[in-house]
Chain A
């Protein structure tokens, strides 16, 4: 179905059969740029879960992560003509999601600073209770997951991004290099150092 800049919800089907998986991401975005709205839906279906997992590691909040992924997909819809086939589509969409997640983090940091400055001294002295491990295999495994996520979250920004992309998203070094826009050697070095740092932080887990 080819349409030129016309948008009608009734014409769009979320049925995967209409935009089969035989197309590569780059072919789909090319079709979408040519006006095929079904190609857009197919791209959304392909990337929504991958992106929410990626963004969730930064924000740690499911609702906010979903909002960021929605914004990413909306941006894809509006800025579709900005994509040029010099890079893989996946690196382009990951870069958009990463930038939006960073913007959200900055907003959050600003809000936190404002709230802290508005708090009284007594309120500021209040400490959050530490998560205590409980007996039981399931609970222990959940505790371990939370510890790992907290350790990832505590990493410096440039380590965090690359370790999430490599060890959770399982992207190639080349793709990571394109997304974070640093040389391949630097990416490898950062990933190695991030793994060493995580090992130190999670030493008491075992």
Chain B
């Protein structure tokens, strides 16, 4: 055992917490080093003296003053006592705030993730579903009886465009003077 190991074990030796083998080793070191024995005795004396330090006691009117303080602060103390009712560990104010935030978050998440499927359709979507026909081909039996729709309108407009183009295309009608 060296000096550091000895110093580390002093308290355990004094308080009888060393194992038998360690205790024997410690006592062998003490026999070989008289100054170490002096150190242990000195610490033992200090510990005993600390226990004899006169105890401080509270003044006789301690309880009366304490109760008077509690009584005087009673109106103020009532607030924390009543607010100590909790919902899952949260005070009612925080619990309601948290609930509101969670509901808002869930609502916004639903809107963002699936606006067409599950969400409330917007005003434009209502109009679009009512007036605009589907872009897929209609069933064959309906083709004969079908009313003019956007496809026809597109065809009409393309004819008119061709007419305008043909009207404006004067290249074939141009003749050079020298020819």
Contacts and interface: CB of A to CB of B under 8 A. Distances in A.
A41 interface: yes
Contacts of B82: 5
B79 to A, nearest CB: 10
Interface string A134-173: 0000000000110011001000000000010001101000
A203 interface: yes
Contacts of A170: 51
Contact of B71 (A9, A66, A81, A191): A9
Contacts of A102: none
B10 interface: yes
Interface stretch (B37-45, B96-104, B108-116, B146-154): B37-45
Given A7-B70, A9-B67, A199-B42, A48 B50 contact: no
A198 B51 contact: no
Interface of B: 7-8, 10-12, 39, 42-43, 45-47, 49-51, 53-59, 62-63, 65-67, 69-71, 73-74, 77-78, 80-82, 84
Contacts of B10: 192, 195-196
Contact of B47 (A65, A77, A79, A167): A167
Interface residues of A, number: 44
Contacts, number: 95
Contacts of B80: 78-79
Contacts of B54: 145
Q: What are the 8 closest A-B residue pairs judged by CB atoms, nearest first? A: A192-B11, A167-B50, A56-B56, A81-B84, A48-B58, A195-B43, A199-B43, A199-B42
B46 to A, nearest CB: 5
B62 A195 contact: no
Contact of B11 (A12, A14, A152, A191): A191
B63 to A, nearest CB: 5
A3 interface: no
Given A7-B74, A167-B50, A78 B81 contact: yes
A49 B54 CA distance: 12
Find the residue from B12, B45, B49, B65 having the highest chain A CB count within 10 A: B49
Given A192-B8, A199-B46, A77 B77 contact: yes
Interface in A13-31: 14
A199 B53 contact: no
